[in-house]
Chains A and B, each alone.
Chain A
Amino acid sequence: MKKILFVLVMASMLLAACGGSGQVSSNEKVTLRFWTHTNNAFNAGYDALITAYQTEHPNVTITRESFEYDLYLQTLQTAMPAGEEADIIQLFGTWTSQYFERLAPVPAEVMSVEKAKELFYAAPVGGFIVNGALYGFPQEFNCEYGGVLVNKTMFLAAGVTYPPQWKTMDDVVADGRKLVQKDASGMMSVAGFHFTSADPIAFSFLAGIKQRGGDYWNTDHTGFTFNTPQAKAQLEWMVNAVQSGIIDPMIFNDATNPVIDAFFTNKAAIGYIGAWAIAEGKTNFPDFTDEWDYIYLPPIQGKPVFVADSGWGLTVSPNSKNQNVAWDFIKFATTDPKNALSWNLASGTIPAMPEVAKSAEIAAQEPWVAKALDILPDGEYLGNMPDRDLVMYEIIYPRILEAMQGVSSVNDALATIDTEANSTFK
């Protein structure tokens, strides 16, 4: 009996020694929880990666759970203080600066900050870097700027040149005017150029400021500067475009007839929205039969400089008991070009890695990415804000919408945006 015991003890010690600390190939069973937000295409991509990883590492089980966007933030806020969050958390890069206290920094042996900056485009990785430390790996280039859905059938029916040969934004507006349709009571039934949802308004505004040579940050990124001549010029351009009749912001905005819904139900001829909308539109509106395409707008002026959020990526909780395994999975999913490619193809997103973005498969299956390759390097990271959602969706978008709707003047809107955005820095 004692001999058997002795053998068992020696065997287990040997096994433990072989297992080593934190080697993923150890035989102990590991279960990881993985949280994502609800996006069917994204999650299909994740599930494929999980299956692949689990095949390679049979001792690891990863269970994924998703929450819809609006409640995702709330879920994180509840779970994190209670230490209940998942091991792997899909996080929107720009949010990292709000949550970094509750996230685990990427260990140096997994990847250094410099290497990450080389591996990914500037905008996607920018958000995950807080105070010089890296907190996660991006998976997509969340480009809300510059791309529009165009309805070929409507263009041809209205006799407008197709494919569009836009040299300036004014050309776009001119085409938009020709594509507007109204019903018998004078209410707009088809918008010519729908750009009055929250993301298009915010991002075209910020890009416009930068393209005109200005900036919306102060020098050390401790405050905003929205009350500038460039901002005013951009806002005036946008308001004039609306008032020229290409869109009725009363019935086309983020709450009523948002861009995806409007475009895929034949209520908008040109729809300004990020490329991620394509997958969603095709899934939600299978009845849409018009011919369409996704093309990029010319800059308002100069080079097509623009800003972008740091898009969705993966992070690890410091409360996780298997952080090394978690990082191993994340590295597998996001930095291996083959795997990153499979996820981007499934989700319909623009890759965060230049190597993947330039690949032949992307060019074949996501042709709009190939068109974006020219401008992607010009994308700068939006910047770490105290509360990105508040500034973009509750300050910039509503005030600009009000200016477009004629409720407030351009100057008032700008002044209010400046005051309110800066008040988030308290």
Chain B
Amino acid sequence: MATRAVSNSSLNPVRKIHQSPFFESRLFFYLALTIGLVFTLLPFLMMIISSLKTNTEVLRVPPTFLPKNPTFSNYITIFNDPKLPLLRFYANSAFVAVFNVTATLFTSALIGYMFAKYQFPGKRILFGWFLTLMMIPSHITMIPSYLILAKLGLINSLWGLVIFSAVDAFGIFMLRQFCETLPNELLDAARIDGASEWQIFIRIVLPQLSAPLATLGILGFMGNWNAYLWPMIVLQKVEVRTLPIILTWYNSTHTGQGALVMAATVLITLPILLVLVYFQRWIVKGFVTTGLK
């Protein structure tokens, strides 16, 4: 910025006038951004504030902004509710998310690397098949997948939930692109040193892929943690359900108890939000480094 000011003032005195509109426009930018910020935060604020009210106060017309007597009673109700073992559901969601992410990262890296660095007959066809797969939206396979799981008795099983998502075509595609940039000399050198293909992959290739893996991992974790439709179809017993479905279930079994439901929403959405916020910088970095092709 300093350079601009200097060049402006030295080349053309009239430019100086532009400095103040720059400051004003900066102020305007901050203002606009802050308005957007408030709008973004308002619903979260409402959620937290409502959770501290009583159910009757939430229904008051006209509504109050701040609670008259802020209370944690809703939270206590939830913690004491034997039908809502939150930790159990956190564990379910964690299992699904961790398994899926680990599986897809591993398979994407392995398969992407294979497509990038190895030649074999049928490679084009196979890769073309994956491209096609990438384009087929998941909902079309939803119904037959469900029927298969029903036949295999895997409904209501967390394993049944994850069995179809071990391979992610998009991840393969992205990692293939990354692997293509790896220098072949590095790999050949390792081979000469006596490393097996497998060791090359684990020791040399994987560490190089930490950036895209991190991005894919975080995005995958977020997607899996918040997944709704497929878990709702497969997991029908309360004990095995993941958090988003538990939230819907809790809402439908507690109609008319708005504050209580908001408290449940806080307990189910906020903790993971804080975790993801910490990691979200990798998503941004990922978007930058992949060049968004």
Would you give the shortest CB distance from B236 to chain A, in whole angstroms? 5
Q: Is B82 an interface residue (CB 8 A)?
A: no
- B-contacting 9-mer, from A156-164, A257-265, A311-319, A387-395: A257-265
Would you give the shortest CB distance from A257 to chain B, in whole angstroms? 9
Which residues in chain A, 263-291, are within 8 Å of chain B measured between CB atoms?
264-265, 267, 284-285, 287
Name the residue on B nearest A267 (C-beta).
B59
Q: Do A67 and B153 touch across chains, with their CB atoms under 8 A apart?
A: no
The 8 A CB mask of B232-254 against A (1 = contact, 0 = none) is: 01001100000000000100111
Task: Identify which of A71, A284, A285 gathers the most chain B CB atoms within 10 Å of its CB.
Answer: A71
Task: Note all chain B residues with C-beta closer than 8 A to A81.
Answer: 150-151
Instruction: Show 22 residue pairs from A and B whose CB-CB distance is below 8 angstroms, ordered by the A residue.
Output: A38-B253, A67-B237, A68-B252, A68-B253, A71-B236, A74-B233, A75-B236, A78-B236, A79-B150, A81-B150, A81-B151, A82-B153, A183-B61, A184-B62, A189-B61, A261-B255, A264-B256, A265-B56, A265-B256, A267-B59, A287-B55, A287-B56
Bound together, the chains give a CA A82 to CA B253 distance in angstroms of: 28
Task: Note all chain B residues with C-beta closer than 8 A to A412.
Answer: none
Name the residue on A nearest B234 (C-beta).
A78
Q: Is A84 an interface residue (CB 8 A)?
A: yes
Which residues in chain B, 221-279, are within 8 Å of chain A measured between CB atoms?
233, 236-237, 249, 252-257
Q: Do A78 and B155 touch across chains, with their CB atoms under 8 A apart?
A: yes
A interface residues, tally (CB under 8 Å): 25
B residues bordering A, Cβ < 8 Å?
54-56, 59, 61-62, 146, 150-151, 153, 155, 233, 236-237, 249, 252-257
Task: Note all chain B residues with C-beta closer than 8 A to A65.
Answer: 237
Contact status of A258 and B255, CB under 8 A, knowing A78-B150, A265-B56: yes
Q: Is A70 an interface residue (CB 8 A)?
A: yes
Q: Do A82 and B150 touch across chains, with their CB atoms under 8 A apart?
A: yes
Task: Note all chain A residues with C-beta closer than 8 A to B150.
Answer: 78-79, 81-82
A-B residue pairs, 4 tightest by C-beta: A261-B256, A75-B236, A82-B150, A78-B150
Q: Do B155 and A284 touch across chains, with their CB atoms under 8 A apart?
A: no
Would you give the shortest CB distance from B115 to chain A, in whole angstroms? 38
Which residues in chain A, 48-67, are within 8 Å of chain B measured between CB atoms?
65, 67
Cross-chain contact of A284 among B61, B236, B257 (Cβ < 8 A): B257
Task: Note all chain B residues with C-beta closer than 8 A to A71.
Answer: 236
Contact status of A70 and B252, CB under 8 A, knowing A78-B236, A82-B151, A84-B153: yes
Bound together, the chains give a CA A74 to CA B245 distance in angstroms of: 15
Q: A38-B253, A67-B236, A74-B233 are in contact. List 5 more A-B contacts (CB 8 A).
A: A67-B237, A70-B252, A82-B150, A189-B61, A267-B59
Would you give the shortest CB distance from B143 to chain A, in whole angstroms? 12
Bound together, the chains give a CA A267 to CA B258 distance in angstroms of: 15
